[in-house]
A and B are shown apart, each in its own frame.
Chain A
Amino acid sequence: MLHRLTLAELSAQLAARACSAREATRACLDQIQRVDGRVGAFLQVDTAGALAQAEAADAALRAGATHATQPLLGVPLALKDIIATRDQPLTCGSRILEDFVSPYDATVVEKLRAAGAVLVGRLNLDEFAMGSSTENSAFQRTRNPWDLERIPGGSSGGTAAAVAAREVPAALGSDTGGSVRQPAAHCGVVGLKPTYGRVSRYGLVAYASSLDQIGCVTRTVGDAARMLGVIAGHDPRDSTSVPETVPDYTAALGGDLKGFKIGLPREYRVPGLHPEVQQAVETAVAKLQELGAEAVEISLPHTQHAVAAYYIIAPAEASANLARFDGVRYGLRVEGADPIEMYKRTRGAGFGAEVKRRILLGTYVLSSGYYDAYYLRAQKVRTLIRRDFLRAFERVDAIVTPTTPGPAFKLGEKASDPLQMYLEDIFTLSCNLAGLCGLSVPCGFTRSPRLPIGLQLLGKPFGEAGLLRIAHAYEQATPWHREQPPLLQD
């Protein structure tokens, strides 16, 4: 049953030599074998590599290595298949990179390895992280472990589903507009998006460079604090990473919430909000007040324009970033009579529908004659959105909202209407536009069908420690994180 332990529990067992890294890894590989045929979280499982890493961890433990210096020693983890890992696939969920093998490790992977982690495999995602349901993967559908007819969220759907299904205790994803928090909410687990610049993006395949950030999915808030402590920090290879010291995030946990002020944005009570989600969030706010926090209403007046600003800025950056996939240096090539024809055929055959839509949209809003009306205006609206938040954070320590407007929807339900799918991100994407940190923590379930609901906490730039403390106090006072998906009961 080692695969059912949280990261903290498993580290404690490994440190006490109550189990070996090999046993822990074997337990996760067995669980993947047992459930992943139904869940579809993994694109690739590196069984031999994982067992070899586990044996190396066991050898290190025997030689006296400790979890004080290597906090993840012997802990099996998995990565969204958009984070470069040496000699492993890096498909980004795309046909265009179907056969790509990464020649190097991302900085976060170097950090995980240095901390002693065992990397077991690659997790499914929306193609190039563009989507909210993981249905845009070129390779397979991932299903929500709470209801196999429903989506796990996206774009880090494989990441959230694997943690919810107890295939690994923690996994990394990436969050450009909610892609860690939204699937975490739909799968009943914790998703943390650190502040832009907190974690190096070196080795994260770029979607929208001014918004992308690597984040983690775990079953508890304490585990998120541990993961962040490992992956955070300045990296000279990412000039947008910020040289701020990394605090001890686990030391920040504990205690009540006296003196904490939480803000409730009045603009987030949108018409499309599912009544049971609203109810769960209101109950969660009452719980935070019971724990000592003071709740005040705040205003984020430009909220209604965030989706439009995001879906101009992110596709604009994507259209530039994805220009590198041209059939020359790596990936798929479809031959043509001249280079232009080769580029067009390669990209036409290699990219899926959503990626093509966003490239077209991004190319259009950046093109001569439209740049000012769309891209420049969206960047100005982005300034106003950031200003709203910074003003609010003068009064409050955290902002509390639902993570998603409703629970996980059915596969195929929104696939034919891109705009409806974009509105799924309404509560999460402002955080990326404004450069904040955010996390989603389970806060209840809908009645029938029984689906997880996520509570989103947003914090000021580099305010992760405060957010984790609030989320931890809430989690310890509620039962949600101990619930298991029905999949685990058979």
Chain B
Amino acid sequence: MAAPHLDIRSVAHLARLELSADEIERYGAQLDDILRYFEQLKQVDVSGVEPLAHAMPLVNVTRPDAIRPSMPHHEALRNAPVRGHDLFVVPKIVE
């Protein structure tokens, strides 16, 4: 069986992370080590076992659909890197 290997460039693209050449090399080797460690999970018999996404058996938690105060506009924009006209400013998306 081939050793597990993570194609770091494509994963970094999926994760929207710019990495330097040095980071690609370093993290690539470290992550392959970690994936090798994960191989042990293949020995566990999980047939018929339900996955657990959450430790508490809470389902479909609802609340009344009541109007409540929300964060004022200027507060929501307070930490924006670039803002204008009471909006978040982003680079142009369509030509």
Contacts and interface: CB of A to CB of B under 8 A. Distances in A.
Interface of A: 99-101, 103-104, 196-197, 210, 236, 239-240, 242, 302, 304-305, 307-309, 311-312, 319, 323, 326-333, 335-340, 342-345, 347-349, 351, 353, 356-357, 359-361, 363-364, 367, 373-374, 376-384, 386, 418-419, 422, 432-435, 461
Contacts of B21: none
A77 B95 CA distance: 53
Chain A binding surface, main DSSP class: helix
Interface residues of B, number: 48
Contacts of B91: 335-339, 342
A327 B42 CA distance: 39
Given A196-B55, A242-B56, A384 B46 contact: yes
Contact of B17 (A347, A376, A383): A347
Contact of A344 (B16, B30, B41, B53): B16
B52 A419 contact: no
Nearest to B15: A363
B56 A197 contact: yes
A473 to B, nearest CB: 28
List of 6 A-B pairs having minimum Cβ-Cβ separation, nearest first: A435-B55, A348-B18, A379-B51, A333-B81, A330-B79, A380-B46
Interface string B25-61: 0010011011001101110101001111111101001
Given A377-B46, A383-B52, A103 B41 contact: no
Nearest to B89: A328
Contacts of B23: 353, 356
A344 B61 contact: no
B3 to A, nearest CB: 14
A316 B56 CA distance: 19
Nearest to A376: B51
A197 B58 contact: yes
A9 B85 CA distance: 53
Given A308-B40, A357-B31, A381 B46 contact: yes
B71 A356 contact: no
Nearest to B6: A364
A374 B38 contact: yes
A14 B41 CA distance: 54
Contacts of B11: 360, 363-364, 367
B51 A361 contact: no
Contacts of A363: 11, 14-15
Given A103-B79, A342-B91, 4 more contacts: A305-B41, A418-B34, A435-B55, A461-B55
B61 to A, nearest CB: 4
Given A343-B16, A357-B31, A380 B51 contact: yes
Contacts of A339: 90-91, 93
Contacts of A360: 6, 8, 11-12, 15, 17, 27, 31
Given A210-B55, A311-B38, A347 B18 contact: yes
Nearest to A211: B55
Contacts of B38: 308, 311-312, 374
A331 B79 contact: yes
30 contacts: A103-B75, A103-B79, A104-B71, A196-B55, A307-B37, A308-B38, A308-B40, A328-B80, A329-B76, A329-B88, A338-B92, A339-B93, A344-B17, A347-B15, A347-B16, A347-B17, A348-B19, A353-B23, A356-B27, A357-B27, A357-B31, A359-B17, A374-B38, A377-B44, A377-B46, A418-B34, A419-B34, A435-B55, A435-B56, A461-B55
B35 to A, nearest CB: 8
Contacts of A377: 41-42, 44, 46
Given A103-B79, A308-B37, A380 B90 contact: no
A174 B49 CA distance: 30
Interface string B66-95: 000001000110111110000010111100
Contacts of B90: 328, 339, 342
A337 B6 CA distance: 28
A212 B34 CA distance: 22
Given A242-B56, A311-B34, A364-B6, A356 B17 contact: yes
A361 to B, nearest CB: 6
Contact of B41 (A309, A343, A422): A309
Contacts of B82: 333
A56 B59 CA distance: 42
B16 A103 contact: no
Nearest to B81: A333
Contacts of B41: 305, 308-309, 312, 374, 377-378, 381
Contact of A302 (B44, B51, B52, B55): B44
Max chain A C-beta neighbours (<10 A), residue from B37, B52, B53, B71: B52
A426 B71 CA distance: 41
A373 B38 CA distance: 10
Max chain A C-beta neighbours (<10 A), residue from B27, B40, B51: B51
Contacts of A340: 16
Contacts of B56: 196-197, 240, 242, 435, 461
